[in-house]
Structure 1
Amino acid sequence: MLPKDWLQISAGECTELLTGHAFNSQHYAEPNASTVRLLRGDNVVPGSLRWDDAKHWATPYAKQLQRYEMRQGDIVIAMDRPLVGAGLKCSVVKQHDLPCLLVQRVARLRAKSHVEQGYLTQLFQTRQFSQHLKGQKTETAVPHISPNDIRDFQLALPSNLHEQRRIAHILSTWDQAIATTERLLANSRHQKMLLSQQVLTGKARLAGFTASGHKRNTPYGSVPVEWDYPRIGDVAAEISEKLGDSEPHPVLSCTKHHGLVDSLKYFKKQVFSLNTSTYKVAPRGCFVYATNHIDEGSIGYQNLYDAGLISPMYTIFKTNDKVVDAYLFALLKTEHYRQIFASAINASVDRRGSLRWKDFQRIHIPLPSVEEQQAIATMLAQGGREVALIKNQLDLLREEKSALMSQLLTGKRRVRLPADEAAHA
């Protein structure tokens, strides 16, 4: 039930919606100081615009194209593949995004005179709007929505423009806190990555460990002469035990960013075979990698259960006592080793683009003493905890803002207005 001074109206009644121009790709210009960027659907990601693959148009351009010039504060929505894993491809044009011109299959929304643009910005960030579009999108080869799908969205609107502005201002302060925390998280992750690259290759040594300064050259860069440089097969062995008729274990899947996960819990549905008799058993304390996708970073460490089941498409191996598993896992998850895996796949005779154990085990790794491995692993784990702490703070801010939006944007919770503004209600 809305407050009596609120309206239930459609997005079409309170916005001016424009879709972009069909710019001819044959006339794209080489970027220079006199060209302008074209705002395409590919440039719209949830919450921001990205310009790493921008297309350009020469200036001066025809007068009829001026209507497609973007302004700061414009809301844009990609109408092709509008919903991705990270959310709705909707963003606000910032000053640093200008100048740019709107391209077809991107919708631009501006508030009408009786509506605050910032209030609309918050409404189009809601889960309700995403769910509305999810129910409207056409399931074709390229899922898409239409301008009318956007216009038909029903929203709650305070009749008092000052109340709209006050709500938008309150929620924008949360946006600022979220943006600050996102930058802090990105910086923390970047610092951890740089630290990993330094200490895992011996470019930087930890205090208390001998560092002569002399290096050993290898095909993949230099390592300290004090370190060993064995093949993986010299310090690890493949495991290939199958379940057979034994009692079943939880089925695990290997992901790029989260390592090994419980398949049912992670995907919320069964994505593995009903018959798991041919699945491999992965005991606690072993490594698992996706034979066909390790070049994408799909490698994990089994510390979830005493035993788990792994698809036959995965490779399992276990290290000996010369290796600290946390050190090796950090090493194999670096971008440097992802590139090494990709090179090994290209050099393999396997036509399916996979890296089987016989080739994987030939890859060399820099290996300091067990004590230094442990020290490196401990330091990186501390860095990982700091990243996780910031990530938890970010998740909490997003949850708190979402809860506040559900109250403020529906009139369930009212904002206080200064007396002079309230008098105009």
Structure 2
Amino acid sequence: MNSGQETMSKALGNGRRALAEAEEVPVGYKRTEVGLIPEDWDIMALRNIIEKFVNGGTPSTKNAAFWSGNIPWITGADILNQTVAVIRRHITEEAVHNSSTSVIAKGNLLIVSRTGVGKLAIAPCDIAISQDFTGVIPNKEKILAKYLFRHFDFCQHVLAKQNQGTSIKGITRDTLAAILIPLPPLSEQRAIAEALSDMDGLLAALEALIAKKQAIKQATMQQLLTGKTRLPGFREAWETRRLGDTFTCLPTANNPRADLREYGQIGYIHYGDVHAHAQPVLSCAHYELPWIDKSRVDNAAHLQNGDLVMVDASEDLVGVGKSIEIHGIAGKTIVAGLHTILCRGNPDYWAMRFKAYLQFIPAFKSALIRMATGISVYAISKKQLSDIELALPSLLEQEAIVSVLSDMDAEIAALERRRDKTRAVKQGMMQQLLTGRVRLVEPRTITERLAATRPAEQEAQWKVVETKEAGR
């Protein structure tokens, strides 16, 4: 940075600070290094509100006896969604005594301080930790572990900002110790932690219900799409047909993401959009597509309602054949893009929306996996797809199957929307509660705060308090 840039940078910084200081401070709040917080909250460095930090380590993997115990041992990879998601290994007491690992007591805070900074969890049991972690033992008279967990979960950017290192990213102990923590009274810490824990419970219940409904749908598809279970009124045998005789493969575009725009003449369905879309049917009326200039896709066929867009490449076998049936075009001009196969079904063989479930028919999926070629990326061709032979139900039975599965998809989609809304509500609660904008307990007066402090601390503060109270 040259001297002119440095002068400009300082001027901008001074301007921002002046602007921030000019903002009106609401009654009952104060300005601090971490922003506006309630008057009765304190701010302390992490080192001043904990008993100690605890190191982690890995017992020697050359000694098999160390890994045959009953003490859970985890690495940063075992933390998922800010919980200890899995415990894959156990060690012995001897391993603890002969290595740098430590056992963290249940209820204390686990912070991933290298290779995954930002992950954290509350220890679900007495648990040994690897060198990925720093164990944090709070001073229970000043801060609750569950509140500290909520604070760091909300302020992950604070940890990420301190990330250091080249080959292995991490946060140093001194840096961690210096982080400033807004400190509500213990009763409010407890109320905040409990309120957010209740939201987590609701989210967990919704996730479990969604998983249950998805499992039921999966089992239903396994039965209905193979003919193992027939819906009432259907007994006729399914007819085996070559797929190329039931649909036509039409030309697609081959533009990279770089060619796409927020606005344009033609909507564009990229293979990444197909992989990312959770439901087998995509309604273009409710989905925000990228756009592309007409001149770049002159040779691509324009989509029609009922067309099937299938990816022709995937990094894993699970994604081979992932597809979406297109609906809700409503006058829009849309093309299928890079790494997709566009299939237009013959209405004599395909009922609307049944093609969406083609990817879930076991015989079809197995055929694709057998045909897929590649090493790091698995690919299929239009010819391979067209040559697959498959038993298909009658149009009437297809419509009946679609009705059942569509109702299930709609129920799952509604639950997912409810879950997403609940997540947004939780995020809003964190924003309000962890900054003190919304209080769950009545704010304490200065005198009440003083009464809660230790006698040794009171003597040093009485004169300040008396002066403030006298001035009111």
Q: Name the TM-score, length of structure 2 as normaliser.
A: 0.71
Match of 1:206 in 2: 231
1:317 aligns with 2:353: no
Match of 2:21 in 1: none
Q: Kindly state the Cα deviation for residue 228 of structure 1 after the two structures are TM-superposed.
A: 1.6
Equivalents in 1 of 2:124, 2:152: separation in Å? 16
Match of 2:243 in 1: 232
Percent of aligned pairs sharing the same letter: 21
The residue type equivalent to 1:187 in the other structure is: K
Partner of 2:390, secondary structure, is coil
Deviations 1:214-272 (A, max 9, x none): xxxxxxxxxxxx1122222121111016699xx9512222332406699xx8799x9x9
The residue type equivalent to 2:239 in the other structure is: D
Match of 2:122 in 1: 92
Match of 1:299 in 2: 323
Partner of 2:357, secondary structure, is helix
Equivalents in 2 of 1:327, 1:375: separation in Å? 10
Equivalents in 2 of 1:153, 1:275: separation in Å? 54
8 Å Cα contact 1:279/1:309 also seen in 2: no
Q: Kindly state the Cα deviation for residue 342 of structure 1 after the two structures are TM-superposed.
A: 2.1
Relative to structure 1, is the Cα distance of residues 292 and 67 closer, same or farther in structure 2, using a 3 angstrom cutoff? closer
Equivalents in 1 of 2:301, 2:165: separation in Å? 39
Equivalents in 2 of 1:140, 1:230: separation in Å? 57
Alignment of 1:18-417 (within 5 A): 18-27=54-63, 34-51=69-86, 54-63=88-97, 68-80=102-114, 82=116, 89-95=119-125, 100-113=127-140, 114-126=142-154, 129-138=155-164, 140=166, 144-148=170-174, 150-158=176-184, 160-210=185-235, 226-240=237-251, 248-254=265-271, 255-258=274-277, 276-277=296-297, 280-284=300-304, 285-293=306-314, 295-297=317-319, 298-303=322-327, 305=329, 306-321=332-347, 322-333=349-360, 337-346=364-373, 353-416=378-441
8 Å Cα contact 2:75/2:130 also seen in 1: yes
Q: Kindly state the Cα deviation for residue 356 of structure 1 after the two structures are TM-superposed.
A: 0.6
The residue type equivalent to 2:149 in the other structure is: T
Structure 1: unaligned runs, 5 residues or longer:
212-225
Match of 1:221 in 2: none
Relative to structure 1, is the Cα distance of residues 371 and 149 closer, same or farther in structure 2, using a 3 angstrom cutoff? farther
1:8 aligns with 2:46: no
The residue type equivalent to 1:136 in the other structure is: Q
Relative to structure 1, is the Cα distance of residues 142 and 173 closer, same or farther in structure 2, using a 3 angstrom cutoff? same
The residue type equivalent to 1:89 in the other structure is: K
Relative to structure 1, is the Cα distance of residues 62 and 379 closer, same or farther in structure 2, using a 3 angstrom cutoff? closer
8 Å Cα contact 1:253/1:261 also seen in 2: no
Partner of 2:432, secondary structure, is helix
The residue type equivalent to 1:307 in the other structure is: T
Relative to structure 1, is the Cα distance of residues 148 and 329 closer, same or farther in structure 2, using a 3 angstrom cutoff? farther
Number of corresponding residues: 390
The residue type equivalent to 1:311 in the other structure is: G
Aligned-pair Cα RMSD in Å? 3.7
The residue type equivalent to 1:295 in the other structure is: L
Relative to structure 1, is the Cα distance of residues 377 and 110 closer, same or farther in structure 2, using a 3 angstrom cutoff? farther
8 Å Cα contact 1:230/1:365 also seen in 2: yes
- Deviation larger for 359-368 or 315-324: 359-368
Relative to structure 1, is the Cα distance of residues 81 and 351 closer, same or farther in structure 2, using a 3 angstrom cutoff? closer
Equivalents in 1 of 2:328, 2:195: separation in Å? 42
Deviations 1:256-289 (A, max 9, x none): 2406699xx8799x9x999834773451332222
- Deviation larger for 248-257 or 172-181: 248-257
Equivalents in 1 of 2:195, 2:66: separation in Å? 42
8 Å Cα contact 2:308/2:325 also seen in 1: yes
Partner of 1:115, secondary structure, is coil
Relative to structure 1, is the Cα distance of residues 28 and 93 closer, same or farther in structure 2, using a 3 angstrom cutoff? farther
Partner of 1:20, secondary structure, is coil
